Structure 1
Amino acid sequence: MTLMTVERIKLFSTRSPWWCMIITVALTVGLTAIFSAATKPDDLSDLTPSVTQFAYNFGLVVMMVMAALTVTTEYRFGTIRSTFLAVPGRTQALLAKTAVVAGLAGVVGEITAVGSWAIAKAIRPDAPLALDTGQEFRNVFGVGLIYLLAAVFAIGLALLIRHTAGAIVVMLVYLFLAESLLPAIPRIGPHIQDWMPFIVGNNFVVAGQLETDDGPPVIEGLPFGPWGSLLYFAAVCFGLLALGLISAKRRDA
């Protein structure tokens, strides 16, 4: 608990996490508010709980950048050395950091998801935004779990790369290009894409959603159902974190 308290103090003593949280909430909730206000009265039937989460990936990227920065800035300024000198095991210190940062990301994810749904309901009270099914609850409340696990992924990647620019560039290229361009590879591309972590993780939120819905994109034929997708995504994220922890133990700080 002492390690987690230290990591919490370190996290909130800098401005970047606060800015990242503000940008995440403002971006996702703001875009949903604009979309809801722009929806014509005749199209209110299309404004569903899943549609209110169409912008969650924008906030997800910001929180992943924040998670990566919590690691790379410590390596950049050398403060990680003080941490490793004060704590007998590097793994315990890094796990405490992961718990604090991922927990914060999960909370922010829930705030953005519920906030997006709530503001859409406030702007368009006549829209069909009631949460009546398990799929609709996952559309909204499942977003926080994806944020939490994505932060774990970002920390693992940052431990492997260590440099801020390198970690962020690799992360953004992977998120915006690598997974989405795989179908361009003849024959095997679409099959490989079905196993990509963020494609599968997104399935936890959108499984059961209609393809014609304007919410987060749906990819048919994935190997797992919603909860299997979440477990697979978690396994990949924690696997990358494990590689990062091994790297941190073997390399000089």
Structure 2
Amino acid sequence: MTLLAVERIKLFTTRSPWWCAAVALTIVIGFAALITGTAPSDFPITVATSQFGYSFGLAVIMVLAALSITTEYRFGTIKSTFLAVPNRTAVLLAKTGVVALLALVIGEIAAFGALGVSALLAPGSDLALNSAADWRQVAGVGLVYAITAVMGVAVGTLVRHSAGAISLLLIYVMVVETLVPIIPRVGDDIYKWLPFNVAEKFLSGDGAVRGASEGPPLSTSTLSPWVALAYFAGVAAVLLTAAIMVARRRDA
């Protein structure tokens, strides 16, 4: 518990988490307001459309998570931490837990805030959470953000440089996963197993409760929603394990 308290204090005494949280909330809720407020009268406003901006907030969560560890390497505070607590595994797990919890809270506030704004701007639309799929679409955003934060901390630990870690994370999500499907013959098969495509399957399922044009693009993964979440979490666990092993072997 002491380690968790220390990591919480270190995280919240810097400006970057506050700025990142504010930006993520503004983007997700702002997109919902923009889409709902400017939609033509015949455009269906649904639970899915209210969550259209979650992927942009996801990029901000990556930045937040990466900065939580790379700034410690940049300013050398990680050395003092490892001297005070020689168990590096415990330190990194505590930091990851605190950052993931913050990402979870941001995700839930953003998702339900976006839903609330949409309901306020389009009171006649059907935005009730009537099914498990609807609940996953909204409440699941926090879980995806939390797991993404674990990945961000892991990559930040491996790279140790803020610019490098952030660039690697954003390029992967925004470029690599987007371009893989265009690889001849094998692209679509590979894309089915890429982590953020699989995470989308958890959130949107097979799209049975919404049209393909409502909300973010549907996932091509063949996994069921909860298995997809487990797979996504497994990828994050592998990355974090690799990061901890590397951190234990090299100098701070």
What range is the shorter-chain TM-score in? Answer: over 0.9
CA drift of 1:211 comes to 4.8
| Aligned counterparts of 1:164 and 1:2: Cα–Cα separation in 2 | 27
What is the letter of the counterpart of residue 7 of structure 1? Answer: E
> Secondary structure of the residue that 1:130 maps to in structure 2?
coil
Deviations along 1:127-185, one digit per CA (max 9) or x if unpaired, are 01111011111111110000000000111111111111111111111001111111111
| Aligned counterparts of 1:15 and 1:51: Cα–Cα separation in 2 | 31
2:205 to 192, 204, 207: 207
**1:56 matched residue in structure 2:** 54
Would you say 1:133 and 2:107 are equivalent positions? no
- Taking the TM superposition and a 5 Å limit, the aligned residue runs for 1:30-41 are 30-41=30-41
Deviations along 1:48-102, one digit per CA (max 9) or x if unpaired, are 1011000001111101101000111100110000000001301101100000001
Deviates more, 1:202-211 or 1:47-56: 202-211
| Aligned counterparts of 1:24 and 1:154: Cα–Cα separation in 2 | 15
What is the letter of the counterpart of residue 241 of structure 1? Answer: L
- Asked whether the 8 Å contact 1:143–1:205 carries over to 2, the reply is yes
CA drift of 1:30 comes to 1.0
- Asked whether the 8 Å contact 2:25–2:57 carries over to 1, the reply is yes
Gaps of 5+ in 2: none
CA drift of 1:219 comes to 2.8
> Secondary structure of the residue that 1:218 maps to in structure 2?
coil
- Taking the TM superposition and a 5 Å limit, the aligned residue runs for 1:95-174 are 95-174=93-172
**1:234 matched residue in structure 2:** 233
User: Per the alignment, do residues 180 and 235 of structure 1 end up closer, same or farther by CA in structure 2, a change over 3 Å counting?
Assistant: same
**1:17 matched residue in structure 2:** 17
> Secondary structure of the residue that 1:41 maps to in structure 2?
coil
**1:245 matched residue in structure 2:** 244
**1:91 matched residue in structure 2:** 89
> Secondary structure of the residue that 2:42 maps to in structure 1?
helix
1:198 to 188, 196, 199: 196
> Secondary structure of the residue that 1:3 maps to in structure 2?
helix
- Asked whether the 8 Å contact 2:111–2:138 carries over to 1, the reply is yes
- Asked whether the 8 Å contact 2:199–2:232 carries over to 1, the reply is yes
The list of structure 1 runs, each at least 4 consecutive aligned residues, that deviate by more than 3 angstroms after superposition, is none
**1:180 matched residue in structure 2:** 178
| Aligned counterparts of 2:108 and 2:153: Cα–Cα separation in 1 | 20
| Aligned counterparts of 2:88 and 2:154: Cα–Cα separation in 1 | 14
- Asked whether the 8 Å contact 1:149–1:237 carries over to 2, the reply is yes
| Aligned counterparts of 1:32 and 1:123: Cα–Cα separation in 2 | 9
Q: How much is the aligned-residue C-alpha RMSD, in angstroms?
A: 1.0
Percent identity over the alignment? 48
Work out the number of aligned pairs and report it.
Answer: 250
- Asked whether the 8 Å contact 1:211–1:217 carries over to 2, the reply is no
